[in-house]
């Protein structure tokens, strides 16, 4: 699932006429970078949630994305929070809304359990979305696996810690920043962790962090540190810097 529903207030005025995921970074929309990485990893189904100017995203990418001729095209489904409720539902609310699209029941009556969750406004060009990571996560039985990064200047206190045995910690002496890339189980978005009805028919708005912290406090979230190129494209200045330099130093 690729998160594309936010208003992008900090990116104004750039986002007054375009959704943030469609802003250009090095010749292509921000959101296209993780989409291409997923294609390289062999993942062929994608759900995109939209709200602010979401019709521009659909017009650009449609329902089939095929940037690499040698790879299997990605089939895209949209969860239209703006159309359905007039605004974005925050991260957890948007995920629950998208669950029926994320996990359609197949002809055998079975439905999948795990999915990648990615923000469309982070730049991590070297991150590899690997099936092996999904398999390790499935074997762990955890509710989520997060990739954390060294704290950038604009977020010096970080978000979560990592224990010596690879568990994510809601509080720690040394904390890192959540990269907005992770693997998740749909079980995190059901009781006892989440009380929003599957499909979120009422359009309940809910953040993700409280669910993660509750699961961390019960040793249900794992994490690892990613030291590759990574940037949160949170302001026009950061976007301009990346476009001008054409490169980033590794942290």
pLDDT at residue 251 tops 90: no
The answer to whether position 119 is within a domain reads yes
* Among 251, 214, 204, 243, CA closest to 99: 204
Per-residue pLDDT of 78-135, as tens digits, reads 999 999 999 999 999 999 999 999 998 664 555 579 999 999 999 999 999 999 999 9
Q: Where is pLDDT greater, at 237 or 168? A: 168
* CATH classification of the domain holding 84: 3.90.550.10
The answer to whether position 251 is within a domain reads no
What does the pLDDT average to over 146-150? 97
The answer to whether position 211 is within a domain reads yes
Number of domains in the chain: 1
Q: In 10 A of CB 108, how many CB atoms?
A: 6
Per-residue pLDDT of 159-217, as tens digits, reads 999 999 999 999 999 999 999 999 999 999 999 999 999 899 999 999 999 999 999 99
- Dist CA 112 CA 103 (whole Å): 6
pLDDT attached to residue 73? 86
Identify the top-confidence range among 12-26, 54-68, 135-149.
135-149
The answer to whether position 32 is within a domain reads yes
How high is the mean pLDDT of the chain?
A: 91
The answer to whether position 137 is within a domain reads yes
- Are 51 and 6 within 8 A, CB to CB? yes
pLDDT at residue 31 tops 70: yes
What phi and psi, each to the nearest 5 degrees, are found at residue 176? -120, 170
- Dist CA 204 CA 200 (whole Å): 6
The answer to whether position 250 is within a domain reads no
- Dist CA 217 CA 212 (whole Å): 9
pLDDT attached to residue 248? 45
pLDDT attached to residue 196? 96
Confidence of residue 5 (pLDDT cuts 50, 70, 90): very high
The answer to whether position 216 is within a domain reads yes
pLDDT attached to residue 104? 83
pLDDT at residue 72 tops 70: yes
- What percent of the chain is modeled with pLDDT above 90? 78
Domain with 35, as residue range(s), is 2-245
Burial 22-57 (b: 16+ CB within 10 A, else e): bbebeeebbbbbbbbbbbebebeebbbbbbbbbebb
pLDDT at residue 29 tops 60: yes
């Amino acid at each position: 699932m690729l998160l594309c529903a936010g208003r992008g207030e900090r990116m104004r005025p750039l986002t007054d006429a375009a959704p943030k995921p469609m802003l250009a970074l090095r010749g292509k929309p921000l959101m296209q970078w993780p989409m291409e990485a997923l294609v390289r990893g062999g993942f062929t189904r994608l759900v995109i949630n939209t709200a602010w100017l979401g019709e521009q995203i659909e017009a650009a990418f449609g329902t089939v994305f095929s940037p690499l001729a040698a790879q299997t095209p990605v089939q895209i489904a949209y969860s239209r929070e703006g159309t359905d409720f007039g605004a974005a539902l925050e991260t957890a609310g948007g995920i629950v809304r998208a669950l029926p699209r994320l996990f359609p029941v197949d002809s055998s009556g079975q439905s999948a359990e795990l999915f990648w969750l990615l923000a469309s406004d982070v730049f991590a060009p070297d991150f590899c979305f690997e099936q092996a990571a999904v398999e390790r996560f499935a074997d762990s039985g955890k509710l989520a696996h997060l990739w954390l990064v060294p704290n950038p200047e604009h977020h010096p206190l970080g978000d979560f810690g990592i224990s010596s045995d690879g568990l994510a910690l809601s509080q720690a002496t040394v904390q890192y920043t959540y990269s907005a890339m992770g693997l998740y189980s749909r079980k995190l978005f059901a009781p006892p962790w989440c009380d929003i009805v599957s499909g979120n028919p009422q359009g309940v708005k809910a953040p993700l962090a409280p669910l993660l912290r509750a699961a961390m406090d019960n040793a249900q979230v794992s994490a690892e540190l990613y030291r590759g190129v990574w940037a949160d494209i949170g302001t026009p200045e950061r976007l301009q810097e990346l476009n001008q330099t054409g490169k980033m130093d590794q942290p």
